[in-house]
Amino acid sequence: MSLKRKDLLSLAPLSVEEITLILDTADSFKEVTGREIKKVPALRGRTVVNLFFEPSTRTRTSFELAAKRLSADVINFSPSSSSVVKGETLLDTARNIEAMQADIIVLRHPSAGAAEALARGVKSSVINAGDGWHEHPTQALLDLYTIRQRGLSFEGLKVAIVGDVAHSRVARSNIYALSKLGAEVRLIGPPTMMPWGVERLGARVYRNLDEGLAGVQVIMMLRLQLERQGRALFPTIREYARLFGLTGERVKLADPGAIVMHPGPINRGVEIAPEVADSLSSVILDQVANGVAVRMGILYLLSGAN
């Protein structure tokens, strides 16, 4: 089976079969990343361009590593040292890059919908590496991969997503995918940080962290997305940490053996206590490690090399 899509923009339209195909393909590349020589020739002669209009540590680096491990040529385009500063539009920039035979463009952009707009204007495949508050599909896919790696099955899995859900593109992609896969999704946070109408997607909203954590097998913590909030949505950070911060005591409310996830970057002492971030239940660095294999799988499937 192949992924019959030009682009990966959102998890909303993906079928369970497509999600499973991506995770299974990532599994075969995970084996490659464990070898001494972590490279296969699958994308030799192809070009991947990372076009990041917002800062990134994990996503940009892992897309670069993923593409290099598939033997693709990789261009890391820096908008701040490009003609974007002279007013060139996103579409013109991408069309000029495409004219140099880019096969896949990986876009991170502060505007929701930017990846979809770009995908309509170029022939190259476009991968959404985070568009404003909208979606971050590859992060959610690596989250799913990490959950599956722990031997957990999605059907009936209780997952708590905690914090600034309204401004989190990671949360949105995870809600779409986890609901589709049959998980019970609980969204926990202050009302000012909850998106309207999220119950329509099958998620249940909790305002009390302790109540929402009861019996869950997966806890996904979110950073306060201050750069997108515009105005203060909570009286003080200290009060937020007291009510919604994950402590060791609170982890005990979840299922014994529950895993703690975070897409990063983490703010120690705000949404997550340092001892929880570094505990045995934390799979935060597993998420980062799995990001390379998952992105290898996505690049491979979109390239049509399979």
CB closer to ligand CP out of 136 and 295: 136
Closest CA to 75 of 100, 47, 94, 95: 47
Between 59 and 98, how does the x/- string for binding to ligand CP read (CB under 6 A)? x---------------------------------------
Cβ-defined contacts of 101-105 (< 8 Å, 24+):
101/47, 102/47, 102/48, 102/49, 102/75, 103/46, 103/47, 103/48, 103/72, 103/303, 104/46, 104/47, 104/48, 104/49, 104/67, 104/72, 104/299, 104/302, 104/303, 105/49, 105/51
Residue 119: what are its φ and ψ, rounded to 5°? -60, -30
Least Cβ distance, residue 290 to ligand CP (angstroms): 12
Tell me if 167 is assigned to a ligand binding site: no
Query: Nearer to ligand CP by C-beta: 190 or 263?
Result: 263
Q: Is 136 annotated in some ligand binding site?
A: yes
We find the least distance from the C-beta atom of residue 188 to ligand CP, in angstroms, to be 20
Among the listed residues 56, 82, 111, 179, the single contact to ligand CP using CB under 6 A:
56
Minimum distance, C-beta of residue 52 to ligand CP, in the bound complex (Å): 8
**Residue 169 known to bind ligand:** yes
86 among annotated binding-site residues: yes
81 exposure class (CB count in 10 Å sphere: 0-12, 13-18, 19+): exposed
Q: Which tokens sit at 266?
A: 């983490």
Taking CA 251 as the corner, what is the angle to CA 247 and CA 254, rounded to the nearest 5 degrees? Answer: 155
Q: Single out the segment in contact with ligand CP by CB under 6 A; choices: 39-47, 52-60, 75-83, 145-153.
A: 52-60
**SS3 of residue 185 by DSSP:** strand
**Contact set for ligand CP, span 120-159 (CB under 6 A):** 130, 136, 139
**Which range of residues in 57-65, 75-83, 115-123, 192-200 is near ligand CP by CB under 6 A?**
57-65
Judged by CB under 6 A, the chain residues 233 through 272 that form the site for ligand CP are 263-265
Distance CA 271, CA 239 (A): 11
Residue with tokens 């305002």: 207
Amino acid at 277: A
Q: Are the beta carbons of 100 and 93 closer than 8 angstroms?
A: no
Residue with smaller CB distance to ligand CP, 168 or 184: 168
CA distance linking residue 243 with residue 240, whole number of Å: 5
Distance CA 202, CA 186 (A): 9
CB of 57 to ligand CP, least distance (A): 4
139 is annotated as contributing to ligand binding: yes
User: At closest approach, how far in Å is the CB of 132 from ligand CP?
Assistant: 13
CB of 130 to ligand CP, least distance (A): 6
Interface with ligand CP (CB under 6 A), residue from 2, 28, 57, 101: 57
Specify whether the CB–CB gap between 175 and 49 falls below 8 A. no
Annotated binding site for L-aspartate: 86, 169, 223
Annotated binding site for carbamoyl phosphate: 58-59, 108, 136, 139, 264-265
Residues that bind ligand CP in the complex, under the rule CB under 6 A = 56-59, 130, 136, 139, 263-265
Annotated binding site: 58-59, 86, 108, 136, 139, 169, 223, 264-265
